[in-house]
Amino acid sequence: MIAEKVKMPKLSKKAKKRIITCTVIAAAAVVIFMMIRSGGKGVGGVPTMTLEPMTLANTVNLTGTIESDESMNVYSTSTELVKEINVEVGDRVEAGDILAQLDTQELELTVAKTRASVNQAAQSAQLSLSMSEKAYNNAKQNLEDELNSALLSAEANLRRAQQELNDARRDYNDNKDDQEYADSIMQQAERKLDRARDAMKDAEREWKKAGEPATGEIAEKYEKAEEEYQAAYKEWMDADTEYGGEVSGIKKTYRNARIDYENALAQRDAAQRSVQEALEEAKDNVTANKIRADLTAEQLDLQLMEKRLEDATIKSPISGTVTAVYAKQGMPGSGLLFVVENTDDLIIKTTIKEYDVASVQQGMPATIKTDGTGEEVFDGEVSMISPVAVKDAQGNTKTDAGVEFDTQIKITSPNSGLKVGMHTRMTIIVQQKDNVYGVPYDAVVTNPDGTNSIYIAQPAEEGKYIAVAVPVTVGMESDFYSEISSDQIKDGDLVITDTSTVIPGSEIILANSPITSEAAVE
Q: Which CATH class is domain 74-102+312-341?
A: mainly beta
In degrees to the nearest 10, what's the CA dihedral of 55, 59, 64, 68? Answer: -60
Tens-place pLDDT, residues 304-317: 888 888 888 999 99
pLDDT average, residue stretch 45-52: 90
pLDDT band at 439 (very low <50, low <70, confident <90, very high): very high
Q: Which CATH class is domain 13-57+434-521?
A: mainly beta
Instruction: Pick from 164-168, 169-173, 377-381 the range whose average pLDDT is largest.
Output: 377-381
Q: What is the pLDDT of residue 64?
A: 93
Nearest to 103 by CA among 84, 119, 90: 84
User: Does residue 129 register a pLDDT over 50?
Assistant: yes
User: Does residue 513 register a pLDDT over 70?
Assistant: no
Tens-place pLDDT, residues 284-299: 888 888 887 787 888 8
> For residues 363 and 32, what is the distance between their CA atoms, to the nearest angstrom?
52
> For residues 338 and 326, what is the distance between their CA atoms, to the nearest angstrom?
6
pLDDT average, residue stretch 510-522: 44
Tens-place pLDDT, residues 249-304: 677 788 888 888 889 888 888 887 888 888 888 888 888 888 877 878 888 888 88
pLDDT band at 420 (very low <50, low <70, confident <90, very high): confident
> For residues 387 and 363, what is the distance between their CA atoms, to the nearest angstrom?
15
Beta-bridged to residue 50, according to DSSP, are 494
Q: What is the pLDDT of residue 22?
A: 43
pLDDT average, residue stretch 323-342: 90
Among 116-120, 214-218, 346-350, whose mean pLDDT is lowest?
Answer: 214-218
User: Does residue 6 register a pLDDT over 60?
Assistant: no
Q: At 193, which helix (H) or strand (E)?
A: helix 180-210
> For residues 68 and 92, what is the distance between their CA atoms, to the nearest angstrom?
14
CATH number of 61-69+342-432: 2.40.30.170
Q: What is the pLDDT of residue 84?
A: 92
Q: Where are the domains of the chain?
A: 13-57+434-521, 61-69+342-432, 74-102+312-341, 129-293
Tens-place pLDDT, residues 54-70: 999 888 999 999 888 88
pTM of the complete model beyond 0.75: no
